[in-house]
Amino acid sequence: MKPEQGLFQLDFDDHHAVLGVPVTADAKAVRKRYLAIARLLHPDSLSGATATDAQRASDVLSKLVNPAYEALSQEKSSTEHGIMLKLKGQSLRQVGTAPTVSSTTAQTLLKAPHADAAYRKAISNLAESQFNDLENVTEVIGELSELNLIYLYRSSANDGPSVSSPASAAKPRPNAAPNATAPTVPTPRQNQAAILESYVNRAQEYDQNRDYSRAILELREAVKAYPNNVQCHSYLAALYLKAGQGTMARIHAKRALEIDPNDERAIAVQARVDKASGASTSGSTQTTKSKGGNAKASNPKASDKGGGFFGLFGGKKK
């Protein structure tokens, strides 16, 4: 697929595949690989290339490679990505059947007797020529992503792959006791709780700064990942209410109450939406019964409430 035909419209969230490194790569390996790619795609390395090829290299670097490295080099995002990879492997195993893949390399890995060694070798072979033909770079990334998928599936049988968090790789303790107790491996439920907490924490930060649109975006992502989580729906309902979007607040409050009829925040949001909606309906009825300009004169503030939702929070301060 050519870049001008939609290459950068694709949403590559497999950062390891974009960089051509295994999901087990540590921070040092990720940075080394990134620097090698950056040198390869730098204008100084493409002095003899055509203007089209130079632009294509610039686009691949800025729109694929740089975002992938940024995601894996930041502690918060890399930790979340590692957790998501483990959960992905576990969910694949729970399905009971191997994921469907199209590439020969992934199909071979599915049957390889020694998955770890075969996986690393396959990734290395593809990475060598990954950026040689930038016109077809997405095809190679897709093949790498299939290898990651099969590796996650196969390694999940052994309690998940040993996925590194590049931004915060643990350093060995030279003086650790030989019989020291091994760290406890988080359960899938604990991993899910950690991811949810990160979404909620970021939403709360935006909420405190009254940046409701970004807070809503965080919670919408959480709802996509966990559609049956009452906390996500009720908090999202409250945020929509603060943003003056009563319809969306009602929808998520209703969904939260379907999951847990006793959720206090959802109950409160629904009550305030119903109250505002009732006040708006009453005002509309009164206006209809009035004649001409007398309706506005009898209720001069009616047109300033905007449906009543902003009024719940005192309106904008002047």
pLDDT, tens digit, 9 for 90 and up, residues 183-236: 444 455 555 677 777 778 888 888 888 888 888 988 887 788 778 888 889 999
On whether both 25 and 103 belong to a single domain, the answer is yes
Q: What is the pLDDT of residues 89-101, one digit of tens each?
A: 777 777 777 888 8
On whether both 129 and 7 belong to a single domain, the answer is yes
**Cα dihedral 230, 231, 234, 239 sign:** negative
On whether both 26 and 134 belong to a single domain, the answer is yes
Domain boundary pick from 133, 167, 201 = 167
Q: What is the pLDDT of residues 134-166, one digit of tens each?
A: 888 989 999 998 998 899 888 876 544 555 555
Q: How many degrees, rounded to 5, is the angle at CA 247 between CA 280 and CA 224?
A: 165
On whether both 33 and 63 belong to a single domain, the answer is yes
Contact 167, 176 (CB under 8 A): no
Instruction: Please give the residue range of the domain that contains residue 206.
Output: 188-285
On whether both 214 and 125 belong to a single domain, the answer is no
On whether both 115 and 225 belong to a single domain, the answer is no
> How would you label 280-302 residue by residue, b for 16+ Cβ within 10 Å and e otherwise?
beebeeeeeeeeeeeeeeeeeeb
* Cβ neighbours of residue 135 closer than 8 Å, sequence gap 6 or more: 2, 3, 56
On whether both 150 and 17 belong to a single domain, the answer is yes
On whether both 153 and 194 belong to a single domain, the answer is no
Return d(Cα 16, Cα 124) in angstroms, integer.
12
On whether both 249 and 138 belong to a single domain, the answer is no
Q: Which two tokens stand for residue 288?
A: 């209809």
CATH number at residue 203: 1.25.40.10
Confidence of residue 119 (pLDDT cuts 50, 70, 90): very high
Q: How many structural domains compose the chain?
A: 2
Return d(Cα 187, Cα 193) in angstroms, integer.
10
Q: Which helix (H) or strand (E) holds 17?
A: helix 15-19
Return d(Cα 137, Cα 147) in angstroms, integer.
16
Domain assignment present for residue 182? The answer is: no
